[in-house]
């Protein structure tokens, strides 16, 4: 995992321990991770970057995923997972 992502996870953990679950803190954490790890499809780096983002969502949802207020976070996560991967489409088009 990237050092910035580890640092953000560490800071998120400190915030989380000192305050009750806060949707805004979780959303800010996930936005930060996604800004620091932009997915550029069609490159060799897209899979590791996607893995960092997925790990961040897993980390956050492990704490708050059962709360009914976490619905937006779940929707963002599912949208990220279901987003079409350009590299796969390009490989298919090149093969045909």
Question: What is the pLDDT confidence band of residue 18, given thresholds at 50, 70 and 90?
Answer: low
Residue 35 · residue 53 · CB < 8 Å:
no
The yes-or-no verdict on residue 53 having pLDDT over 80 is yes
Q: How far apart are CA 68 and CA 79, in angstroms?
A: 18
Q: How many domains does the chain have?
A: 1
Q: How far apart are CA 86 and CA 40, in angstroms?
A: 9
pTM given for the model: 0.68
- Average model confidence (pLDDT) for the chain? 76
Please report the sign of the dihedral spanned by the C-alpha atoms of residue 49, residue 54, residue 58, residue 61.
positive
The yes-or-no verdict on residue 84 having pLDDT over 70 is no
Q: Which domain holds residue 75?
A: 3-95
Phi-psi region of 13 (alpha: psi -120 to 50; beta: other; left: phi over 0): alpha
């Amino acid at each position: 995992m990237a050092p910035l992502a580890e640092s953000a996870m560490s800071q998120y953990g400190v915030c989380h321990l000192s305050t009750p679950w806060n949707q805004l803190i979780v959303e800010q954490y996930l936005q930060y991770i996604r800004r620091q790890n932009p997915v550029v499809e069609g490159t060799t780096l897209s899979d590791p970057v996607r893995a960092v983002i997925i790990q961040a969502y897993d980390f956050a949802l492990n704490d708050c995923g059962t709360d009914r207020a976490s619905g937006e976070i779940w929707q963002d996560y599912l949208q990220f997972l279901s987003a079409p991967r350009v590299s796969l489409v390009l490989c298919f088009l090149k093969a045909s």
